[in-house]
Structure 1
Amino acid sequence: MSIQPGTYVITNMASATNVALPTYSDVVRTAQGWQQDSSYPTQQWVVNTTGSIPGSYTLQCMDYGMYLQAESLGANKTLIGSNVPAYWRLEKQVDNSYQIVYPGSYYVAELANGSGTNATPIQLAKKDTSNSVPTGKQRWNFVKLT
């Protein structure tokens, strides 16, 4: 089953931290892993399908209305909040987690070093294809709130 539209908390499988867009700057908000508190709007994401690009999704932060986007395409490029919608593929894994894939590429969202430390950046990395189940720092659990 694919992800259905709704509001979710997105949790990293390596660290059990949530994807968040914290309020450090009014100009650029960097996507980071934070200890779980699903009551924080910075850790809540509206997930919607896109009719124009089959199989693609937008991930929009509840707190600011910003969309998850890569600053540019390439390894170690930071994920940021943007006012412009970005489209992602969500690829289901055998353990029911997902990889968040930059469309048309082999890059996925990865929690840097799989660290459980607050404010750990989330960045693009080449998709792990070494095992049938990718590394946990590249896998995400989507927990539906509404």
Structure 2
Amino acid sequence: MIGWLILGIILAGILLTLLNWWARADVKSAKSLLFWSIIALCGVFGLLLFATGKGFAAIVPAGFAAWRMFGAPRMAKGGGASAGAPSRQPSMTRSEALDVLGLEDGATDAQITAAYRSMMAKYHPDKGGNDWMASKLNEARKTLLGK
């Protein structure tokens, strides 16, 4: 009983330390840590199953960990898209793009660019924003300016 309590306290401390780091980490480091943590947990779980005599059940988590570490094809550096792939056309309508940038119909290219820069300064992932909003701003600018 005491052993489980101590193990729980240790795991809670590790979790709090990881969450504190996660809150301050950049996206690339956080994704890498999450990937390797999942692989490690699957490997450990597989070993525990094997050690307790459940060798057949250990195949799934240990096999997944081994497959991801050694056998799975690696994604291209650009997020999985191949370098020669054509770029996706914007699917946003002009009206939606104007709404995203907070503009009205008839906005000039200069107004569109100024609104984009202002919004991106607030919502860029490096400035505390998120990838989804930044992609919407990029798509809105591409729709309105045709770039």
Q: TM-score range, shorter-chain basis?
A: under 0.3
Which is richer in helix? 2
More strand by share: 1
Greater RCO (CA < 8 Å, at least 6 residues apart): 1
Bigger Rg over Cα: 2
- State the TM-score, normalized to the length of structure 2: 0.19
Normalising by structure 1, we get a TM-score of 0.19
